[in-house]
Structure 1
Amino acid sequence: MSTFLDDVDSRPGSTTSLLRTVIGLYLRDAGGWLPASAFLRLMEALDVPAAVTRTALSRLKKKAVLDALPRDGVAGYALTPGAGTMLFRGDSRIFAPQAMADGDPWCLVSFSIPEAEREKRHQLRRRLHWTGCGTVAAGLWIAPAFRRAEIEEVLEGLGLREQATLFITDTPMPGGYPDGGGLRDAAARWWDLDSVAALHHDFIREWDPFREASAGDVSPPSAGAFAAYVRCIDSWRVIPYLDPGLPPEFLPRDWPGKEGFAVFEHIRGIHSGPSAEFVRTVAAQGAGSTLEA
């Protein structure tokens, strides 16, 4: 059984995804533990009823993201060690996504997994996809070389490291493009860049109006600032997992990645501080409650 925890196994906007986003943003800064009542109040600010939040908390406990842990008679939840690793890995993805420059090295992943382990093979393909890898062939995947450590972690977590070979190489030289196409055509075949571009465009369309409306402003600590920031992060956080961070020569000339990140950074600058202050206030109020989750 793999001990690798996924940060991307829930649909953005769903209760579980919003709760994961709240956990990722605030639970570590709170010392790894929050009162159950604080979770209920924070999710209420996101228009999630208490009963639905309780169900989501139980689900994340079963997934080994949270442990139920009372403190001084106060019901609460603590982050598991595995979840801490997962969130640390996600921080760099979400807040500082990497991108290749032309001429940077690549990582190729070659593997052969027998039919008897087809479930592991399915999990490997799924996780390589969410690592930003592209599919050159059924057993040959490609990613920027800076993803090597993450790919190794996926392989180790599934117990498949000995069945895979990694190569660090220069720019690929694809063939089979008689119309004169080259690297951009190959990238479009190896990755679903249209879908990734659509995610960027959807994010920009949803959140750019907030950037324009809040130009030069800083939100006061409030449930509204908290809700806006959490929903923004929840919408954004899957995109850096699926965007492979390809160099310019591999991308369409109108690639929306930089614009999407600029919108994200602006919303973050406006709402992150006030949102964190709101959470600290809610957590302090919840520390004296014996409310059960």
Structure 2
Amino acid sequence: MKPRSLMFTFFGEYIKHYGGEVWMGSLIKMMSHFGISESSLRGAVLRMVQQDYISVRKIGNKSYATLTEKGRRRMEDGLARIYSSRHLNWDGHWRVLIYSIPEERRELRTQIRKELNWTGFGLISHSTWASPNPLEEQVLEMAKTYDLENNTILFKTSSIISHTNEEIVRKGWDLDAISAEYAVFIEKYEKVYGELKDKTWAGSLPEEKCFEMRTILVHEYRKFLFVDPGLPVDLLPEGWNGLKARELFFNLHQLLSIPSTKYFERIFKHAPDTEPAMNRDRAVNPFTGV
């Protein structure tokens, strides 16, 4: 568990519902539950500041961290993909992106590939990416962010003549490998769910332990955002493990939410010149919207 990934998890699961800013001492306490030292955390924060994901301000001798606009976009994109409805019916259109990055900017190629993978695009040919999802705004924003508007062409088409839809899916993604990863997640957390159900409803599981388990659960489930493109149901194989894993994740998250949030509230401290707008219901159930 890396400090940067954990910070996005903490901000998305908790801090955003409590004003969006947190005392570094609270972050240090949170990270200590997962074997992250104070020096490792401060090094990660410095790198995230340099990458424009986090900003830090000082009040007296204390520092307070918040996500920048770029950091919030990344966090909200991840939250939307975890908690909003996915695998909806397909609108019948492919989004096809072609780019050509000049040699003098070749260092951008790896970054662009990471961005496209994260967004849910699949590489179907050299420098040609495709997605069946409505991601036009995200792609255009990415091109603008990296000043690649003159180096990218984005198409929207209802048919690809040379290949069937199934062939395009096989070219872009290894669904068998992704399904196998989901199977591992399901096998592990079905056992956990059975063990926790009685304990959490009886209140016999410590709030601190619930905080740790919820964080690990979200952290492990977030990994699928980097491999699962969230294809529409029309393009998914029968018995897709991603749907079962998603239901299991929600059930476990629901069990752990209330006690884990209570523990977070005990260790969270905001800046003295702000009064966070707390919304307990959204903090407990971020995927219900109520």
TM category, shorter: 0.7 to 0.9
> How do 1:1-293 and structure 2 match up within 5 A?
13-71=1-59, 73-96=61-84, 98-102=86-90, 104-175=92-163, 182-215=164-197, 217-218=200-201, 222-284=207-269
Label 1:213 to 1:127 Cα distance change in 2 as closer, same or farther (>3 A): same
* 3-state SS in 1 of match to 2:254: helix
What is the rounded CA distance, in whole Å, between the counterparts of 1:172 and 1:253 in structure 2? 23
Q: 2:23 touches 2:64 (CA, 8 Å); kept in 1?
A: yes
Q: 2:82 touches 2:222 (CA, 8 Å); kept in 1?
A: yes
* 3-state SS in 1 of match to 2:130: strand
The one-letter amino acid of 2:94's match is W
Q: 1:108 touches 1:142 (CA, 8 Å); kept in 2?
A: yes
Per the TM alignment, residue 232 of structure 1 is displaced from its structure 2 partner at its CA by: 0.7
Q: 1:100 touches 1:144 (CA, 8 Å); kept in 2?
A: no
* 3-state SS in 1 of match to 2:123: strand
* 3-state SS in 1 of match to 2:147: coil
Label 1:262 to 1:121 Cα distance change in 2 as closer, same or farther (>3 A): same
* 3-state SS in 1 of match to 2:22: strand
Q: 1:34 touches 1:76 (CA, 8 Å); kept in 2?
A: yes
Partner of 2:279: none
* 3-state SS in 1 of match to 2:193: helix
Per the TM alignment, residue 153 of structure 1 is displaced from its structure 2 partner at its CA by: 1.7
What is the rounded CA distance, in whole Å, between the counterparts of 1:196 and 1:183 in structure 2? 19
Label 1:206 to 1:19 Cα distance change in 2 as closer, same or farther (>3 A): farther
Instruction: Provide the aligned C-alpha RMSD in A.
Output: 2.6
Q: 1:144 touches 1:244 (CA, 8 Å); kept in 2?
A: no
* 3-state SS in 2 of match to 1:146: coil
The one-letter amino acid of 2:190's match is D
What is the rounded CA distance, in whole Å, between the counterparts of 1:115 and 1:62 in structure 2? 25
| Percent sequence identity over aligned pairs | 23
Per the TM alignment, residue 174 of structure 1 is displaced from its structure 2 partner at its CA by: 4.3
What is the rounded CA distance, in whole Å, between the counterparts of 1:153 and 1:48 in structure 2? 34
Per the TM alignment, residue 64 of structure 1 is displaced from its structure 2 partner at its CA by: 2.5
Q: 2:179 touches 2:241 (CA, 8 Å); kept in 1?
A: yes
Q: 1:18 touches 1:231 (CA, 8 Å); kept in 2?
A: no
What is the rounded CA distance, in whole Å, between the counterparts of 1:102 and 1:90 in structure 2? 21
* Deviation larger for 184-193 or 97-106: 97-106
Q: 1:19 touches 1:56 (CA, 8 Å); kept in 2?
A: no
Per the TM alignment, residue 171 of structure 1 is displaced from its structure 2 partner at its CA by: 4.5
Q: How many corresponding residue pairs?
A: 269
Structure 2: gaps of 5 or more residues = 273-290
The one-letter amino acid of 2:267's match is V
